[in-house]
Amino acid sequence: MRWPYKLFALIGGLLTGVLLLWGLYQLPGVQRRLGWRLDAAWTALRMELHPVGAVPTPKASLVPWATPSQTPETTPPPPTSTPTPGASPTSSPPPTPLPPAVTLKPPRWEKQDWNNCGPATLALYLRWWGWQGDQYDISDLVKPKRSDRNVNVDELIFFVRTRAGWLNADFRVGGNLERLKGFLAAGMPIMIEEGMTLEQAYWRNDDRWAGHYLLLTGYDDGEGVYIAQDSFYGPNRRVPYTTLARNWEAFNHVYLYIYPPDWEVTVQAILGPDADRDLNRQRALEQARRAVEAHPDDAFAWFNLGTNLVYFERYAKAAQAYDRARQIGLPQRFLRYQFGPFIAYFHTGRFEDLLALADYALRITKNSEEAHLWRGWSLYRLGDRQGAIEAFRAALEANPTYQDARYALHFLGVTP
């Protein structure tokens, strides 16, 4: 009778140990320290069992992209809306030479939590303007689940407008190095989203590319560097102009600016014509077109071209631009951050391409609410209503505040 008793005692001890470990893991401090390690281990195992390759290439486009020597692109018409006050050349002060170097006093630095560079960098920016808070005040609203790996620019702006409403916030695309210097020379930091190379691989054949945010607080023409507050690498990081320009391209040269209302005239003067959102996109479209003409094998340039065409609802041309970017090759995690191809393929009826891209994005980032959403729409248009409902619910499970998923479920007449 001793062996059964010992066996039961052993099993009981193991179960007690497991329960104790599970209870210990529920403590917020322990979970914060171990959660990302467990997730990384699970990701590595998942990728080992189901290896992932490159972003899938598209089926051949129905119409090849016209080169400048063939059919020229029609430039979108100028915006017909009333120009923003202060944005016209007659109301802007004459340009003055930028100083050769600017250094703003940096805000108190805060190291980012796991996959939290957006909220952490925004916290630095808001803190510069006197806001009292930290990255968790932001992430609790815009990414309720810590495992959410991406926060978009518009989500960050939503936080500012709803939780720090005494500040104005907006973004533009198609920026350049001089535009960044203009904000800094005027005395205000500027925030950008860029690509980066991770220090380690998280699965076999990991290309280690990821998106990242930086807050710029200075520049030095003599050294050819920007001074960046980097929530991952540390404060006062010196980033060469050439490095920033190369990494910034991956996100359509987007920049986010935050300022008090009494800075409105200054901000409008810095933006110039780009104060008008439609005109800014038109200029960004031309910037991307020049880039693909100069560097036809630049996948990011083609992707930016597609993204700016999506803004003008020119979905067929946008889909062709995205096709070219995919043929050249995009980083594995790219669809974690940008979703223009989903929109373009949906509006051009390319639902199988949309489904293939969404499935690939979910293999890389299994809890991407955007990928779940567009997977649902592709399934719905392909006739799989129940599959669409499950995908929309998965999107809402990934982010309970995701209104697009709620709309999709209401559209199908089901409860979230």
| Residue 116 domain flag | yes
What confidence category does residue 332 fall into, taking pLDDT thresholds of 50, 70 and 90?
A: very high
**Which helix (H) or strand (E) is 191 found in, with range?**
strand 190-197
For the chain, how many structural domains are there in total?
A: 1
Structural domain including 188 reads 101-275
Inform me whether the pLDDT recorded for 71 exceeds 50.
no
| Residue 400 domain flag | no
Instruction: Provide DSSP, 351-401.
Output: HHHHHHHHHHHHHH-TT-HHHHHHHHHHHHHTT-HHHHHHHHHHHHHH-TT
Model confidence, pTM: 0.85
| Residue 203 domain flag | yes
CATH number at residue 197: 3.90.70.10
Mean pLDDT of the chain: 88
Per residue in 249-279, pLDDT (tens digit) is 999 999 999 999 999 999 999 999 999 999 9
What confidence category does residue 72 fall into, taking pLDDT thresholds of 50, 70 and 90?
A: very low
Both tokens assigned to 274? 């780009």
Give the span between the Cα atoms of 277 and 284, in whole angstroms. 10
Query: 29-33, 141-145, 324-328 — which one is most confidently predicted on average?
Result: 324-328
What was the pLDDT predicted at 22?
Answer: 52
E strand residue ranges, 24-179: 101-103, 168-172
What confidence category does residue 50 fall into, taking pLDDT thresholds of 50, 70 and 90?
A: confident
| Residue 165 domain flag | yes
Give the span between the Cα atoms of 405 and 257, in whole angstroms. 29
| Residue 147 domain flag | yes
Q: What are phi and psi of 258, to 5 degrees?
A: -130, 135
**Which helix (H) or strand (E) is 256 found in, with range?**
strand 255-259
| Residue 219 domain flag | yes
What was the pLDDT predicted at 53?
Answer: 86
Burial class (CB in 10 A: 0-12, 13-18, 19+), 73: middle
Give the span between the Cα atoms of 273 and 279, in whole angstroms. 7
Q: Are 346 and 354 in contact (CB under 8 A)?
A: yes
Q: Is the dihedral of CA 95, 99, 100, 105 positive or negative?
A: negative
Per residue in 85-140, pLDDT (tens digit) is 333 333 444 568 999 999 999 999 999 998 999 999 999 999 999 999 999 999 99
Instruction: Provide DSSP, 196-262.
Output: EE-SS-SSTT---EEEEEEEEEEEETTTTEEEEEETTTEEEEEEEHHHHHHHHGGGTT-EEEEE-GG
